[in-house]
Amino acid sequence: MLAEALFSLFVTILVLFILQNLLMSIKRANLDQNHHVNEVAYAYVQLNRFMRDKDTKLVYPVRDDANSSFTAFTKVDKNKKEKIYRITHYAKKHVLKVSNSETGGYMPLIFNIQKAEFKTTKDQIIIRVTEYDKGKSDLIFQLDEKPEERDADEKEKKQNKRKRAL
């Protein structure tokens, strides 16, 4: 009778231990599923931090060297040294990347990209990314205007004010 009670107690403790581990495994799997890293958001943050690091004075798009297949931006540091970076979709490796022609290397932004389309305005770069498994996303980077264009716009505004005043 005592042996049967001890045996049933041992079996009950074993079942509770197995259930506890099973519940912990389910909880861990559920957390991993719900809190996966959004690669597009991470790429946006990574590129934005690169563009706006502490040594950067100005970042503006290069509209002359841009089309629907790629875009470019100029990064001006505090010493007024300019570097041009190009954002392209490397179809062979299915990666969206940022490269610098001076150094020859590149920084991958997003992997498993089916297609990327680029639109460049005077103060924005818009990248529409089509992923293989997650649909479409837009990356919109608000940049500065090119200094010459900004000065021309300000001059035009002043002239328009003078005309209205007369």
Whether residue 23 is contained in a domain is answered as no
Considering its fold, how many domains does the chain have in total?
1
Whether residue 120 is contained in a domain is answered as yes
3-class state of residue 163 by DSSP: helix
The boundaries of the domain holding residue 117 are 35-140
Per-residue pLDDT of the chain (166 residues; tens, 9 = 90+): 888 888 899 999 999 989 898 888 887 776 655 444 578 888 889 989 998 888 888 998 888 877 888 888 989 988 888 888 999 988 888 888 998 877 778 888 888 888 899 998 888 999 999 887 767 888 999 988 887 776 666 666 666 666 665 5
Whether residue 166 is contained in a domain is answered as no
Whether residue 151 is contained in a domain is answered as no
Whether residue 161 is contained in a domain is answered as no
Contact 127, 138 (CB under 8 A): yes
The predicted pLDDT at position 13 comes to: 92
Query: What whole-number distance in Å separates Cα of residue 156 and Cα of residue 148?
Result: 12
The 3-class SS string of 16-48 reads HHHHHHHHHHHHHHHHHHHCCCCHHHHHHHHHH
Whether residue 25 is contained in a domain is answered as no
Whether residue 20 is contained in a domain is answered as no
Whether residue 103 is contained in a domain is answered as yes
